[in-house]
């Protein structure tokens, strides 16, 4: 099978972690007889430096012409003073919107080998952490109007939060359908005691529930959900929520699993062309030091194989190799525990070890 993958290496540690993921994909191609073509795309700070634009149209077109997109990370303090419309993150928002990837799926699963790395009590971790957050990705406050004006001699910042019934319905269906494939429990998270947009969210979710009688729907306010994720994460199977709430909750969820560096994500829409990326940032403070954790990016590549290319065996191959390397005690610095049996390795070595364990079953 031939696939064209648009590759956004991005900023900070992005080029390092993406480089290891591409080596893994090359190994998959060799093992299973596929052909992957990688098309480099500049987006984020590197695109600002090169073009004066976080995502020029020509670069965006490369992504839209691909079979899927693999992204490292964008942004960093170097571009903090760039005007708002030209910030690196604006390139990412534009990419998501133009690709139409409205559903961001972020698993929060603790690898048994990393139980000691979780900041939660062992008694809580022992109950199990394995849920997924389905985050609406191209609506809400991130995509509303933003403006700063002067009123009564003082600055006033305005950020608009809007959701239409159709936007809520399409992400709600993804939540229900995801729950059907898991343990059939869906928690809808909003702030309906305060926000009109959340009251509409809750109304639509309950209307949809009648179409999915096999799924148990519950409601939870976002502040309570933030508390419950650290108090009793085993209660969750699938969480569906709006853009900003999902952004915050998924970062919290990643940390209870041991490290944000371990968590992949997929962003999907109506087509099979998806956007795959680790959920962490560009970590410019450790860029170029070969100490970043590439596993989140490597697992994102596995998600691409599974969900966009229907290559389940190939995705299993990668995930099994990651597990085998963790079994042997190899750790990057972010997941290193006090266990004397653990062996600290860098980004490149972690990638090499994973490739070494990959084999076709």
Q: Which of 130, 251, 290, 316 is catalytic?
A: 251
121 catalytic? Reply is no
- 142 is an active site residue: yes
Select which of 90, 191, 276, 330 is catalytic: 191
Strands (E), 203-320: 216-221, 238-241, 264-268, 275-278
Whether 61 is a known active-site residue: answer no
Options 42, 53, 67, 247, the catalytic residue? 247
Tell me if residue 32 is catalytic: no
Beta-strand ranges (E) seen in 41-112 are: 68-73, 103-109
Q: Which residues pair with 266 in a beta bridge?
A: 105, 276
Instruction: Find the catalytic residue in 40, 49, 223, 310.
Output: 223
How far is the C-alpha of 150 from the C-alpha of 18, rounded, in Å? 43
SS3 27: helix
Active-site residue (options: 142, 212, 276, 330): 142
Is 102 marked active-site?
A: no
Q: Position of tokens 């697992």?
A: 299
The residues, ordered by sequence, that sit 6+ positions from 112 with a Cβ below 8 Å of its Cβ are: none
Give one word for 290, left, alpha or beta, with left for phi > 0 and alpha for psi -120 to 50: left
- 8 A C-beta contact, residue 13 and residue 44: no
User: Residue 285: how many CA atoms within 13 Å on its side-chain side?
Assistant: 1
- Active-site residue set: 142, 191, 223, 247, 251
């Amino acid at each position: 099978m031939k696939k064209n993958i648009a590759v956004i290496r991005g900023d900070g540690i992005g080029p390092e972690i993406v480089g290891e993921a591409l080596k893994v994909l090359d190994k998959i191609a060799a093992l299973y007889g596929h052909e992957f073509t990688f098309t480099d795309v500049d987006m984020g700070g590197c695109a600002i430096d090169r073009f004066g634009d976080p995502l020029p149209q020509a670069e965006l077109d490369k992504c839209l012409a691909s079979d899927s997109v693999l992204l490292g990370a964008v942004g960093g303090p170097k571009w903090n003073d760039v005007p708002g419309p030209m910030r690196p993150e604006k390139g990412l928002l534009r990419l998501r919107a133009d690709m139409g990837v409205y559903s961001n799926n972020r698993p929060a699963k603790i690898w048994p080998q990393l139980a000691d790395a979780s900041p939660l009590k062992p008694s809580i971790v022992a109950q199990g952490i394995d849920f997924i957050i389905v985050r609406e990705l191209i609506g809400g406050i991130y995509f509303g109007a933003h403006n700063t004006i002067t009123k009564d001699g003082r600055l006033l910042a305005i950020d608009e939060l809007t959701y239409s019934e159709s936007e809520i319905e399409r992400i709600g269906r993804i939540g229900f359908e995801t729950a059907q494939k898991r343990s059939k429990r869906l928690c809808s998270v909003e702030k309906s005691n305060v926000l009109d947009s959340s009251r509409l969210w809750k109304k639509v979710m309950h209307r949809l529930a009648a179409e999915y009688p096999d799924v148990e729907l519950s409601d939870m306010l976002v502040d309570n959900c933030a508390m419950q994720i650290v108090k009793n994460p085993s209660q969750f199977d699938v969480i569906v929520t709006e853009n900003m709430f999902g952004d915050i909750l998924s970062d919290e969820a990643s940390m209870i699993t041991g490290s944000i560096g371990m968590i992949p994500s997929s962003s999907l829409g109506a087509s099979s062309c998806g956007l795959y990326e680790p959920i962490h940032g560009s970590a410019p403070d450790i860029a170029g030091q070969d100490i970043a954790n590439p596993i989140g990016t490597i697992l994102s590549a596995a998600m691409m194989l599974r969900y966009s290319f229907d290559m389940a065996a190939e995705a299993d191959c990668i995930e099994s190799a990651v597990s085998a390397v963790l079994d042997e005690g190899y750790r990057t610095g972010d997941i290193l525990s006090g266990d004397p049996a653990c062996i600290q390795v860098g980004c490149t070595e972690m990638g090499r070890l994973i490739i070494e364990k990959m084999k076709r079953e």
